Structure 1
Amino acid sequence: MLPLAASASGFSSLEKMTESGFRISAEARLLGDGGRDGVMLGAIEPQRQLSPASVTKGYLAAAALDRWGPQHRFTTRLVSSAELDANGVLRGDLVFDGGGDPALVTEDLWRLAQRLHQAGVREVEGRLVVSQWRFGPVECITTDRCEARTRVGNSYSALLSSAGVNHGNWCVNVAPGAAAGEPARVTSCDTQALVLGIDNGIETRPPNSGTEFSAERVTRDDGDMMLLRGQISLNASPRDVYRASGDPARQTARTLMAMLDQAGIGVGEGYVTSIEEPPAAARTLARVEGRPLQELLLHVMNYSNNFMADVLALNLVDTPRASLLEAGEAIQDYVAGLPDHGPVVMLSGSGLTTENRTSAHGANVLLESMFHRSSLFPSFVASFQSPANGVSRFIRRGSPLFQDNIMLKTGTLNQPYAVRAVSGYFRTRSGRWGVFTVMVNGTSSTPWLNWTQVLDPLSEDLARMVEAH
C-alpha cells in the first residue's frame, strides 16, 4: 500500500469533493496477472464504511452466480391434486405455484394457460389459488414500498412476492378518444379485457393541443384502481403507463384468470391468494422455465431493477417465508467467504436501504474474486455497462479513453441523504485489468449532489490511470 498522500493523488480531481463536506471511500488498483503483482493506483479512505446504494446489486449478482451458476432458470408451475375427468373438467382447485422468477411476464402466463389447455383441461370446477409460499407478501422496510401498499405514482416501488408478474406493475395504454371532448381510450397492455379498475379523467383535446396527464394506482376494498387525470391531444400517439400494484400475487391472479379465459378455460369459483405450499401429492399440469440467470442479471444491473434484485435476493434464502433482512444475511454469508473483504452490512439486495454498508476496498475485493473465477466472470462482467454504450444516458460522458475502457455499475439515492456510488473494471492500453470503486455520501448539511459532480472528476482520474499504465 502506498503512503496515504501518494495514494490519494490518484484521485486528485475527485478528492476536491471532500472540501464540500462529502464523505468518500475510493480505491483503484491494477490486478495481478502473469506473475505481476497488483498495483495500487489511488485511494481515499478505502476502508471507510459507506452506503453503496445500487452498487449492492454487484454483490447480489456475485452471490447468485456463486449459488446457481449462469444457466440457472426459475420454474413456475400450475399444479393440482384434483382429478381431471374425461370431459376436461378439473374437479377441484388449480394452484399457481410461484417459483420466485424475477422476470415472469404475461407471455409466461399465456404459455401456462396454453399448456394447460394442451394437457386437456377445459374447465376448473374449483378456484385458481395463487400460492406465494416461498415468500410474500414481503414486509416493506423502505418508505416508498410501505406507501405503495395503498397508493403509488411510480413503477419502481413495487411490492415483493414469489408469485409476482411484470415486475409487480400494472400497465395500461392511454390513447386519444374518437373525437375532441371524449374521454381518452384506456386499455390493458397485457389482456384483452381490463383486469384493473379504471377511473378515467383524461379528456381528448383538439390536435396539437398538448398532452399532459397523471396516473396514480390506489387500492380500495375491491382491489387496485388506476386514477387518470389530465388531457391528451387527438393526434397524440398511444402511451403505456406503468404503476406498481398493491398486491403482486393478486395482480398475478387477475392476469392469469384473463389468460385462462382467452384460452377457453373457465374457473368456476374465482381466485384466491395463499401462503400455503401446494399439496405434496399435487401433480404438475403445466410449467414454464424463466430466462437464464445470466440474462436476468443484465436487467438487474443495466436497468437497476429493484423488484428483480430483491426477488432474486429472497431466492437465496433456503427457508420459506423469507424476509429482506434474511436475504441480506444470505449475501453477507457469501461475502464472509471472501478473504480480506472486511465488514459489510446488507439489508436488501437492491440497495434501496441506506443502511447497507461496505467499503471501496471491500467492493474491489469482490470484483477481484469474480475476475479469478473463469466460469463465472464472463456472465458477471457482461452485466456491467460501458459508458460509451450505457443504457443510462448520464454515464455517457468523459473522454473516449474513459468511455471505451471502463465497465461500471452505478448507485443512486437521494433520501435521507445523497448517495452516488460507482464500481467496476477498467482495461489499460496494454490490456491489463483493474478494479475501482468510488462511494460518495452526503450528509444532512451537504449541498445537493448530482452525477455530473461525481462522474466528471472520476472520469478524469480514471482516464489518467488508464493512460499511465
Structure 2
Amino acid sequence: MKYFYLLIFLFFPLFSGAQGLQTYVQARLQHPVLLGAWWGGYAAYDDATIFSVQADTRFTPASTLKLLTTAAALETFGPHHRFETRLYAQTSPDEQGVLHGNLYLQGGADPTLGSTRVTGGETWQTVATRWARAVKQAGITRVEGDLIADESAFEGPSIPNKVNWENMGNYYAAPASPLCFNDNLFEIHFKPQPRADRPAEVEKTVPQVLGLTLKSFVTTDGKTKKDNAYAYGAPNQYEMELYGTIPTNFTGFTIKAALPNSALFAAETLHNALRAEGIAVGGHTATTRTAPDYTTMTLLDTYQSPELKDIVVIVNKRSFNLYAEMLLRNLALHAGKKGSVQNGLDELYAFLKKNNLANEKTAVLYDGSGLSRDNLVTPKTLVNTLLFMSKSPNFSYYYNSLATPDDRGDLLLLRRFLKPKKKVQEVRVKGGTIDGVKALAGYTRDKDGRLIAFALIANNLASKDEALFRIHEDIIKRLLALPEGN
C-alpha cells in the first residue's frame, strides 16, 4: 500500500487542472483511515466545478451546518443588527418610591446577554447592575411585586429534539432562551487532588445557582491533561450528576455546565443587584411564558447586544452552539412567528430554497448548530451557500467569521499548514467534529487569486485518527496550487 501512495505523489505532476485534481482526490480516499467510512467532497469556482466526489450525497455535517445558519442570519438581519432586552415597571412608584407591581425582564432573544465572549459584550454582573440602577433612577426604592423573566418569545423544547442525552447538561448544549444570560452556563470548580484514581470533590460553582445540587462521580486521571468530565441534567432540572475524569492537579480544576434555567437566573441576579443598590424586593423571582401588556407599563431600560457581525464570528470561528441555536430561533421571530426550533428551521429552509441553495432532499435539518448526528447536508449544499455568500454585500463579514488554519478557535484542524507557514491567510475554514464525523468547508484562492469554495466531509469514521486532517490539508494545498502550469 505504501508504494501505491508513493506512485500517486510521483506521478501527480502528470495530472493537469481539475481532471488531475479529481483523480488525485479519488486516489487519496484509498487511505486506511477511510476504510468502511463515507466521504464526500466538492470544490468549485463560481462558474466551474473543480472536483466532485459524492457531492449530491447527504452526509452528517457536524458544525459546518453553522455556515447555513449564519448565512441566513446575515442576509436576514444585516451585519449591524442588534438584539434588545427590555426592563419594564408594571406601574409608577408612589410618593414613597414603592412600586406596587412587578418588574419584567422582556427577553428579546439576545444570544450574548451578560457575556463578554463577543467584542463589546458586558459581564452578567455589569448588566444586572445597570438594570438595578435604572430602577433606582426611576425613583423606585422598594418593589412590592415580583421580578418576572418573560420567556414568551419562544415556545417548544429549549433543546433540539435530536440532541443526545450525553450532551445535555453540558455548556455546549445549553438550553436556548429568550433571556440568555452568561452564555447559559456556570463553572464547576473542583478541589485540588494531586493523586490519581481519587474522587474529585466539588468546591464551588461560579456563579452560584440558587437551588442547584451537584452529585460528583468524577475521578482524577494522572495520565492525561484533558477534561473528560461531563454534567448530566435536563432543562429546569436542578439536580445534576457529574461523571468522567479530570487531570490530577495541585490547584483545582474547572469544567462548565449548562444553567438549568437562564431566565430565572437572570431574574435572581437582578434581585441581588437591586439589594446591592439598597432597593428592597417584597415579591419573588419567576418566569412566564405569557406576555403581559407592555403598552401599559413604563420602560426603564433597553439593553442592546453587540452587532450581529461580531456574534457570527463567535458562531463560526469558535463554533459556539448556543449562539447558532439562538440565531435559528431569531429567524422565526423575524418572520413574526414564535421562536421555536421548528419555526426557525422552516425559515432556514425558506432561505435556502429562495436562493436555490438546497431543499428538503439535500438538507435534512434538526437544529441550527450541527450538534445532532441526524442532520444531513450534501457537500454541494455547503459549497452553494459559500458561493452565494461570496456575491453578497455581507461577504466580508461572512468570510472573516471563518477560521484561518492557525486559529485555535477551530481546533487547529489544519495544523500542517503551520509547518512551514505558507499561504495560511488564503484559507478560511469552518470545521465540524462529532462522533464518527469530521468535516471541513470554506474558501481558498488559487495562484491567480480566484476564489474557490470547498466542502470535505467524512462520516462513519471508526477512530479519531488525525490522518484524515492530513488528507484534507493536502487537498486544500492542491487547490492553492491551481491552475497547474501557471
Instruction: Name the TM tier (shorter chain).
Output: 0.7 to 0.9
**How much has 1:147 moved relative to structure 2?**
7.0
Equivalent residue number for residue 20 of structure 1 = 35
Q: Distance in 1 between matches of 2:431 and 2:227?
A: 31
Matched, 1:42 2:51: yes
1:245 and 2:280 are equivalent in the alignment: no
The code of the aligned residue for 2:91 comes to: A
1:332 paired residue number: 349
1:368-425 Cα offsets, whole Å, 9 max, x none, are 111111x3011111110000233234414123346342100011221xxx22211100
Residues 79 and 283, structure 1, Cα contact 8 Å, conserved in 2: yes
CA drift at 1:136: 4.6
Q: Are 2:432 and 1:411 equivalent residues in the alignment? A: yes
Structure 2: state its 5+ residue gaps: 1-15, 115-123, 194-199, 218-224
In structure 2, give the amino acid aligned to 1:25: G
Aligned to 1:390: 408
Number of residue equivalences: 438
Is the partner of 2:270 in helix, strand or coil? helix
| Segment of structure 1 superposing worse, 458-467 or 334-343 | 334-343
- AA of the residue aligned to 1:452: E
The CA deviation at 1:166 is 1.7
Matched, 1:155 2:174: no
Give yes or no for the alignment of 1:99 onto 2:102: no
Change (3 A) 1:95 1:367: same
The alpha carbon displacement at 1:456 in A equals 0.6
Counterpart Cα distance in 1 of 2:441 and 2:240: 38
Single out whichever of 158-167 and 54-63 deviates more from structure 2: 158-167
- When residues 385 and 219 of structure 1 are mapped into structure 2, their CA distance, relative to the original with a 3 A threshold, is closer
Closer/same/farther in 2, CA of residues 254 and 458 from structure 1, 3 Å limit: same
The amino acid of 1:96's aligned partner reads: L
Deviations 1:413-466 (A, max 9, x none): 21xxx2221110002233221110112111xxxx52436232211111110221
SS of residue paired to 1:16: coil
Letter in 1 for 2:96: N
Query: Aligned equivalents of 1:115 and 1:456: distance in 2?
Result: 55
Kindly provide the CA deviation profile for residues 343-362 of structure 1, in whole angstroms up to 9, marking residues without a partner as x: 32222111122332221122
The AA in structure 1 aligned to 2:464 is: N
Q: Deviations over 1:115-166 (max 9, x none)?
A: 22233322211001111001156254446566777xx3x3222112111212
Match of 2:384 among 362, 365, 375: 365
> Hey, what does 1:426 align to over in structure 2?
444
Contact 2:185 2:259 in 1 (8 A): yes
Distance 1:158 1:340 in 2: 29
Q: What is the distance in 2 between the residues matched to 1:434 and 1:231?
A: 43
Determine the structure 2 residue equivalent to 1:296.
Answer: 311
For residues 42 and 249 of structure 2, what CA distance do their matches in structure 1 show? Answer: 53
For 1:163, what is the secondary structure of its paired residue?
A: coil
Q: In structure 1, which of residues 305, 312, 316 is the aligned counterpart of residue 320 of structure 2?
A: 305
Q: Distance in 2 between matches of 1:228 and 1:298?
A: 31
SS in 2 for 1:369: helix
Percent identity for Structure 1 against Structure 2: 22
Distance 1:401 1:89, change over 3 A: same
Aligned to 2:121: none
Q: Deviations over 1:223-259 (max 9, x none)?
A: 7256689999999446544211222322322233222
Cross-structure match for 2:276: 262
In the other structure, the counterpart of 1:189 is 206
Is the contact between residue 274 and residue 280 of structure 2 (CA under 8 Å) also seen in structure 1?
yes
CA contact (8 A) 1:199 1:227 kept: yes
Query: Structure 2 vs 1, CA of residues 369 and 451 (structure 1 numbering), >3 Å: closer, same or farther?
Result: farther
Distance 1:135 1:437 in 2: 33
Letter in 2 for 1:261: R
CA spacing shift, 1:458–1:436, aligned 2, 3 Å: same
Task: Report the more deviating stretch, 331-340 or 254-263.
Answer: 254-263
Q: Which residue of 2 aligns with 1:83?
A: 92
| Greater displacement, 242-251 / 52-61 | 242-251
Paired with 1:91 and 1:189, the residues of 2 have a C-alpha distance of 33
Q: Distance in 2 between matches of 1:141 and 1:233?
A: 32
Please tell me whether the aligned partners of residues 410 and 431 of structure 2 are also in contact (alpha carbons under 8 angstroms). Answer: no
1:120 maps onto 2:135 in alignment: no
Task: Identify if the C-alpha distance between structure 1 residues 424 and 117 changes in structure 2 by more than 3 Å, giving closer, same or farther.
Answer: same
Does residue 168 in structure 1 map to residue 184 in structure 2? Answer: yes
1:135 alignment counterpart: 154
* 1:352 maps onto 2:371 in alignment: yes
